[in-house]
Amino acid sequence: MQFGHRSASPIVRVAGPALVLVIGPGAVRAARRAFRAGEWAVDEAAARPRLAAGELVAVPLEDPDPDTVRELVGAAQHADRAVDAVVLGGVPAGLPRGRFRVLTELAGDAFTVDRLPAAYDRRDRTGPFDVIGDVHGCLEELLLLLARLGYEVRLDLHGRPVGAVHPAGRTVVLLGDLVDRGPDVPGVLRLVLGMLAAGEALVVIGNHDDKLRRALLGHDVERNGGLDASLAQLDREPEAFRTEVAEVLGALPDHLLLDGGRLVVAHAGIAERFQGHESARVRALCLYGPTTGATDENGLPDRVPWAEDYRGEALVAYGHTPTAARTWRNGTVCLDGGCVFGGSLVALRYPERTFAEVRSIMRHSEPARPFLPAG
């Protein structure tokens, strides 16, 4: 006698604390089977405090109206939590696809949930780390700094750097803005992509990286800030490489919690209340930092000095704003030494809390806001 094999239920992966809307006929039954009893909420009022507490919250909606969906998404946004949707039997008309981190469509009402750490949650990685500030296409200086830190660089068959390993097991953490303004954007990207693939580096996305990603995907973006140079350099690379670059940049987190949460990194920094959160607001702050909405005399955004009010327990390392010297401020430090502008490429050695740096071999671009001492 032969017995048929029951097909496995589809797997829905949910990363970190999030709101999951289960939508469509059979949503209540499906959610009861897939989620734990403590992960349930019946409406926005019940979901709100649990989202604020950093829990995974599932809300089944058999026949959702737009106002209900809007209220639930608003509750998640208020708590800076991601929103996923599991749609059963077809996407309802008017469902705002763009409001969901992930939208999973299922033909039936049976699925299982695979709970994963959030992309920002690397508290399991304890280091030691070498946290490096904004590279901006300065491959030669990056190689010099890696050599100073004791890394052994790996080359491909064409003699190009594609990896770097430390004999003592240290890990590179890059603070974003890998691209624009510098002389070898493809070289930097090739090295970083190789290190990411080999587990030799961790990287957060910077505002310049995100803009390049959008340009490579065909979005309409202003070609300023060195973007034209990056695109021109990448035009000389194979299409497959440009595709890989866009995919990898799109997967980078906006911040990372490391070493049990004792070290936090983000391109433009991150206040304590947003650490371990995920939303469009958190992403914007990590990429650009808080601003007043005005511009300064150089035509640049007027930035809010968030580090002056920082009182968090975690050490925060960030870049984004070129500075001539390393200064600790309330447990935070800026590592953007303005290498592409003739300054330095800087690394923070963690947990030692010491610095290593190499001077730029030349000024590759002129800064809009002077930051180096005169002379």
Report pLDDT digits (tens) over 308-347: 999 999 999 999 999 999 999 999 999 999 999 999 999 9
Q: How far apart are CA 366 and CA 250, in angstroms?
A: 28
Scan for tokens 């624009």, then name that residue: 180
Mean pLDDT for the chain?
94
Which residues are within 8 A (CB) of 227 and not within 5 positions of it... i.e. 6 or more apart?
A: 180, 208, 211, 212, 215, 221
Q: How far apart are CA 231 and CA 60, in angstroms?
A: 45
Q: Which residues pair with 152 in a beta bridge?
A: 165
pLDDT tens-place string over residues 106-133:
998 899 999 999 999 999 999 999 999 9
**Is there a contact between 332 and 315 (Cβ–Cβ < 8 Å)?**
yes
**Spans of all domains in the chain:** 11-116, 121-359
Same fold, 11-116 and 121-359: no
State the pTM of this model: 0.94
Which CATH code, of 3.10.129.10, 2.60.40.1120, 3.60.21.10, 3.80.10.10, is assigned to 121-359?
Answer: 3.60.21.10
CATH number for the region 11-116 comes to 3.40.50.300
**Letter for the amino acid at 182?**
G
**Is there a contact between 140 and 38 (Cβ–Cβ < 8 Å)?**
no
pLDDT tens-place string over residues 209-227:
999 999 999 999 999 889 9
CA Rg, the chain, in Å?
A: 23
